[in-house]
Homo-oligomer: A and B are copies of this chain.
Amino acid sequence: MSQPSPLAPEKFPNLPAVPGVEISGLHVGLKPTKGVKDLMMARLARGTTIAGVFTQSKCPSAPVDWCRSVIGQGSARALIVNSGNANAFTGNAGDIVVSETVRAAAKLLKCPKREVFVASTGVIGVPVPPDYIAGKLPRMVKALKPKPWLNAAESIMTTDTFPKGAARKVRIGDAEVSLVGVTKGSGMIAPDMATMLCFVFTDAKIPARVLQTAIKAAANKSYNCITVDSDTSTSDTVLMCATGKGARHEPVVTATDSHFREFRRALDDLMIDLATQVVRDGEGAQKLITIDVTGAQSAQSAKRIGLSIANSPLVKTAVAGEDANWGRIVMAVGKAGEPADRDRLSISMGGVPITENGIVREDYVEAPVAEHMKGQAIHIGVDIGLGRGKARVWTCDLTHGYITINADYRS
């Protein structure tokens, strides 16, 4: 593992146990370096509900195909996630790895195969022996414990430079429940899920249908609002499991229940925390960039404009160079293809208004903005001046580090 990103948190947080969830993370030999963890397992209590969102790639991996085919029934007993091999573009061999893994897990845990979920991340196009992961499951089951979240987070890392996790405590009615999530990703990151995996667990009791609404909405505000390099992976997977084994709470019947509102806010917040950890580990990242777009014709239009800015190599290299180059932001707004009028556009950086009504302000002084650009947290504000649509997206800068990491990855 290389040096942790300069944007990494000081340490991995202390994550609580989630009643109904046991986890393990071990080295089983999928990654070449001995001791580097590469397989994660979660055992889920009977009655656990599950929901998820997956990559929009038209060439998804075999594990994504499997999860999509079984998630509709909404219950889960096991989650098996490997790193070191994406099991993508492996043809029929890839499907066999999945079915062998699922069969073995179902047998060990005495559950239907449709309650076993799998995800893989790593090299594309290299098949693993069909029963390789299946054969490691007895060891994984033996290692299951309520709290080794760090092991779990480490075992799903690829080019990540730090393990990623977060937790929230939240009330449903009078009862307190937990939310814990682990995630990975540091390149091939773009909206609609990029090489990123995210697993969220709660001990609340939530019907699968409601869970699906909540996780999809949360992903739209978090993982679908981040981009490192505009590349979308074959394997992106966000899964959320609700065990119902925590404190008893007022039943949740619909996603809009008023006593469920606080939970959803906490879930959104947790997902944004996890998603921005992925951006903080963006390959080569030196700066975290937050982009607020306001005044667009709609929220969707605002998001598209935000992502056009966030995906622009010229904006990202300017930030890397600590250059308050607002001209490149104008360019990126223009290329988004969304309604915009250059004569209404206002741009700020670090909260300092730079342009107004399509021209640089007469009172603009660059010094405070130049100072802001030297920091690690960069803010770009763009007001389109047309409507009330707004969105916030996150990205990182584009540096020599990105080139070094990606020009030399396989060798």
Chain A residues in the interface with B (C-beta under 8 A):
55-60, 86, 88-93, 123-125, 127, 187-190, 193, 229-234, 311-314, 317-318, 320-323, 325-328, 330-343, 345, 355, 357-360, 397-400, 402-404, 406-411
Contact = CB atoms under 8 A, between A and B. Distances in A.
Given A234-B330, A326-B125, A59 B345 contact: yes
10 contacts: A56-B335, A59-B334, A91-B359, A124-B330, A124-B331, A231-B314, A317-B407, A318-B406, A321-B409, A400-B404
Given A59-B330, A234-B334, A321-B406, A314 B89 contact: no
A335 B403 contact: no
B323 A410 contact: yes
A405 to B, nearest CB: 8
A361 to B, nearest CB: 11
A340 B193 contact: no
Given A357-B91, A359-B89, A409 B189 contact: no
Given A187-B314, A313-B402, A345-B59, A331 B407 contact: no
A196 to B, nearest CB: 13
Contacts of A326: 125
A55 B337 CA distance: 11
Contacts of A323: 407-411
B57 A334 contact: yes
A331 B232 contact: yes
A358 B91 contact: yes
A361 B410 CA distance: 19
Q: Which of A91, A335, A340, A406 has the most CB of B within 10 A?
A: A335
Given A125-B326, A232-B335, A330-B125, A340 B59 contact: yes
A411 B34 CA distance: 47
Contact of A411 (B232, B321, B345, B400): B321
A145 to B, nearest CB: 35
Nearest to A315: B231
A337 B230 CA distance: 13
B125 A230 contact: no
Given A59-B345, A334-B57, A342-B59, A317 B124 contact: no
A333 B60 CA distance: 11
Given A58-B340, A399-B403, A231 B124 contact: no
A61 to B, nearest CB: 9
Contacts of A337: 56, 58
Contacts of A343: 91
Given A314-B229, A410-B322, A331 B57 contact: yes
B335 A125 contact: no
A88 B402 CA distance: 31
Given A59-B340, A409-B323, A358 B89 contact: yes
Given A313-B313, A342-B59, A408 B232 contact: no
A336 B58 contact: yes
Contacts of A327: 86, 88-89, 123-125, 193
Q: Which 5 A-B pairs have the closest CB atoms?
A: A124-B327, A321-B407, A59-B334, A57-B334, A91-B359
